[in-house]
Structure 1
């Protein structure tokens, strides 16, 4: 006998199984939709179950699985580290410990301690931030510089694009200063790519560059990641010729 209320012979559809959040007094519609999406997001549930601080941890895990980014003993700088999911993944993948920390993270937001990670509470866009990171690294070169930084969006596509490009540029400039030969640079981008000049610069300094959109990155988001591998060294003489 078919259950008329379900219309599926007693089996609920995926739509029926979703958690619905009722609007509450004082709560914006956008906030209600965000809460509903979080409650129905399998990556949020996985992050909670596996002890990660955010679903974003799975973005870097998936990129690592596909592009083989981390190895034991690597030194990693995490720009825009809060709440710490990427640093957690990096610490585990590199074997970083409190006795021998290999990961340095920075963010202007407060973060609880992470085993094997040195955390700096600082806005990376401030002039003295790079020097603080280099000091925290003990003067050693990094094997990976990864950035999940993003400005709060304004809703104006052109403005938001310019702002994210600025963040990538300062992150990339820092990476060129601190990466060891063969190093990797990873950065969040939006709207399908980066400006031509920035991508051209990265191609000069890295053997390969590519864009990635890991499954954990929501399909309806313009977010993607730029991965540059095989750092060749900083071109101090300004020669634009590609190798």
Structure 2
């Protein structure tokens, strides 16, 4: 049994819960993580035998908390997690007499460059390896993480602003384009969780990056009609790009 398997996860799909209940769970989980490095490691990078709720928490409930905090949604507001595989909204949020349909996606820095000497993978694949390195070694280097012939490489150097901005921009564009190709029920707010972007700079920097990525994605693929608005966010910033 893994450390996370011993956690009582209270949120079931198709049932209603309050934002307050979610925040209480996260607060309790935070305290448990402080006392158990193994639990903290597992939540970052699930292992064999890890419960499925970790992915639900990381990819849907964490963005929901960030969104609720940024939008000053009342703790009494309620939400329902859609059944697994449901083609519509991932989460329905009920507050201020309204219902908001939320679709979630995740963006990671994409370290591919035209002059790269080795082919690289991007997005969640490399982020997973990065968290495994962090769990194993207690530190992650500053440079881009790449993969060639099954071997992970990380440049141990400071990353320039130009490199950083390009990687974060490309990651956002790819996440948006992928989501634009999906079909969903109408009138959804698309939440894009930008993992690790908070460390990149100021709110103004994040805003310029987010809005530019949305414009670029719309040029590559037409934004589908089911998307009512797009919010790109992390724990520190939330940009409503319309």
Which of the five TM-score ranges fits, normalised by the shorter chain?
0.3 to 0.5
- Which structure is higher in helix share? 2
TM-score, reference length from structure 2: 0.34
Which protein has greater RCO, CA pairs closer than 8 Å, 6+ apart? 2
TM-score, reference length from structure 1: 0.34
Q: Which one has a bigger Cα radius of gyration? A: 1
